[in-house]
Amino acid sequence: MKIVFMGTPDFAVPSLSMLIENGYHVAGVVTQPDRPKGRKRQLAPPPVKQAALRYHLPVLQSETLKDRDVLNQLKEWAPDLIVTAAFGQLLPPEVLQLPPLGCINVHASLLPKYRGGAPIHRAIMNGEKETGVTIMYMVEKLDAGDILTQVRVPIDDHDDVGTLHDKLSQAGAELLIQTLPRLERGEISPIPQDDALATYAPVIKREDERIDWSKPHHAVYNHIRGLRPFPVAFTTVNGQPLKVWKAIKTDQEQQNFASGTIYRLDETGIGVVCGDGVGLILTEIQPSGKKRMSAADFLRGAGAEWHIGQRLGT
């Protein structure tokens, strides 16, 4: 079986590596162009390109698969199957129709739930206890193709986007290798998705990162870990942004304070009242213009403007 692999970020690397290590013929790799990175904004190759070069695979980078040169190269590679994982582009009809075995995608959710670009973030932010990986046929509509295989992955209460990302990327790679022989032998009966059950996971925007202290403490906790380690939740203090990296839940009721109010400042961290009257302790923060640090370290040098009764988010 000759395969063309399409992917861009770290999530896709285990799938590409698993194909190579299991003896599959990867004719070429398609990924997004190099992007500026870091403070110096120097061009950096995406993780999939780096992995492909380590395996000495030909790499094609393009902003669009509709480019005639890209289409010609894909035809020259003549894949039996196209495998995508977090590629970042929809495949046009000419590409979808190219390989005899079709185009399949490794998606980080249990479809039809969480279609879209941020399924890992949204699952945690919404307090899900379980997610998974789906391998599906690709169609012109976003993440709406027939399901081939799925695997379930539990979400621990201490998981964040980083830890769950790693679990799902590895689970997806293993599921891919389990799926391909059955697909090639025609042993899988694809299952159409029920669009009525579909939910969506749109890419995280700046307004999604802001903490809403009026929500219950468990929802605020999920919001914080659902944005760590990127792009990181934030609130404001005296009009200045404050990134919140970590928090711990408590069962401490603070009914005498409005939501968003600081009710304790000590070595444990910064206690803030949430919408259900229960406190949440911020343990790692990043004030504007400063590095990430423990809340305890920050408080040792904080000025008198930090005090019990102060409101965050204003």
Token representation of residue 56: 């000495």
Give, for 239, the enclosing helix (H) or strand (E).
none
Q: Where are the strands (E) in 8-129, listed by range?
A: 25-31, 35-37, 42-44, 59-61, 81-85, 103-107
Residues with Cβ within 8 Å of 292's Cβ and at least 6 positions away in sequence, in order, are: 243, 245, 284, 285, 286
Residue pair 252/271 in contact (Cβ under 8 Å)? The answer is yes
Q: 8 exposed, middle or buried (CB, 10 Å; 0-12, 13-18, 19+)?
A: buried
294 carries a ligand binding annotation: no
CA–CA gap between residue 194 and residue 270 (Å, rounded): 45
109 carries a ligand binding annotation: yes
**Phi/psi of residue 153, each to 5°?**
-135, 120
110 carries a ligand binding annotation: yes
62 carries a ligand binding annotation: no
> Which residues does the annotation place in the binding site for (6S)-5,6,7,8-tetrahydrofolate?
109-112
> Which residues does the annotation place in the binding site?
109-112
